[in-house]
Structure 1
């Protein structure tokens, strides 16, 4: 099947795609890895890799819209990234604030809704203000939901959900016996979006690195050798093509 022409998926985990039928995933999640290595290979400061990586985000969004992907979630800043140098964290947050200020109108014009998961309250006030402005401006857009995972950790998200359910149980709003996978799912920050059908990681690393651990239980995983700043339309289409060739079983037998 030629790249650039993929039939739509009929659903996510709750509606398996049978028999290896070609389909575009409803929800794609991306672990954007390799900015630093890209910069070091060119003897450039790390921020140069982050700037080029921001350009790749724009290409990724455009391709997702063109192909009919409805949800795109990007691992933009993990909870572990706070261990990086103060300068790199500052450069990253300044770059994110710049792109939110100067690119949000373009995203809004494309019908993109911007959302944030994680702990954005850990960032400085100016970035939080830009995030709030962007979320408010794009709230009612429906072409694509672009979710930024900022100061995000999958284990921490599950702990927060469990704590919320425990508080409800102590308050008598629910009983322990009533807690199911569905109730825990509904306590997650991603409760109002489908689980990812496809998780892509760039840079050749083959791990989830604490990203959407609960939500990715039945996602297809694709690890690509390309560094994130070199990820563009052709790489995204390649990942979609590989996804379309997968046979999704969800624990059942093949069709």
Structure 2
């Protein structure tokens, strides 16, 4: 696969605003604990931050926004917290789907379907189907998602094609692998934002972020707003993206 294009703003010469932003929404529990509140309330405030992020992405003319909603490792949390998170996902779809659809948002969900109750899966499928032709913003929700599992499943798909004679091992390319991932057809993130001050990927989009710019914010996710989004994009645009090569700026 060729490295991503290096778009620039012709007026400033700086990198153009990101086409695809991915966000690790971290810090709901700590936000609540520091205020003496239950973790569940932190998660509820986190949903409000998702709504702000989607509105900001539309305003900023971002084409793809990927949010890390629930990881495959989150099943290790207490059952009461898991039930609350599942309930929040259901309420988000029921409350926000019509508004998202009217705003031209296309919803896409990546991750495994295992362990997810049938009612929630039905709601997810309905949301994806209703909005699939929208093009204002593609909201990619990583739900029950883990990047290592995603890559392993993609490798298994290719191995099955080889075993059936549909694919020769010599034909396996970076493009083949990318097409077998959950994110097939979605451009790689230009910018990955993580809130709460943590500086790690936590098994999120390991393949896709090979050339992404990372911005780590100290604020907890419930406090993420348009100003924080603007600041992350300003930081992104101040950087020189070389993708392993050289630019005129770096050679000067």
- What TM bracket, shorter-length normalisation? over 0.9
Deviation at 1:43, TM superposition (A): 1.0
| Pair 20,75 (structure 1): closer, same or farther in 2 beyond 3 Å | farther
Q: How does 1:165-204 map to 2 (within 5 A)?
A: 165-204=158-197
Match of 1:120, SS state, is: coil
| Pair 100,233 (structure 1): closer, same or farther in 2 beyond 3 Å | same
Match of 1:156, SS state, is: helix
| Structure-2 residue corresponding to 1:5 | none
Segments of 5+ residues of structure 2 without an aligned counterpart are: none
Instruction: Give a deviation string over 1:22-55, Cα, whole Å, max 9, x none.
Output: 4210100000000000011111111100110000
- The TM-score normalised by the length of structure 2 is 0.94
User: Are the counterparts in 1 of residues 197 and 217 from structure 2 also a CA contact under 8 Å?
Assistant: yes
Match of 1:145, SS state, is: strand
Deviation at 1:133, TM superposition (A): 1.1
Deviation at 1:20, TM superposition (A): 6.2
Match of 1:182, SS state, is: helix
The two structures, once aligned, show a CA RMSD in angstroms of 1.3
Q: How does 1:8-157 map to 2 (within 5 A)?
A: 13-17=3-7, 21-157=14-150
- The TM-score normalised by the length of structure 1 is 0.93
Distance across 2 between alignment mates of 1:230 and 1:246: 25
Segments of 5+ residues of structure 1 without an aligned counterpart are: 1-11
Distance across 2 between alignment mates of 1:52 and 1:238: 21
Moved over 6 A (4+): none
| Pair 134,55 (structure 1): closer, same or farther in 2 beyond 3 Å | same
Q: Are 1:161 and 2:151 an aligned pair?
A: no
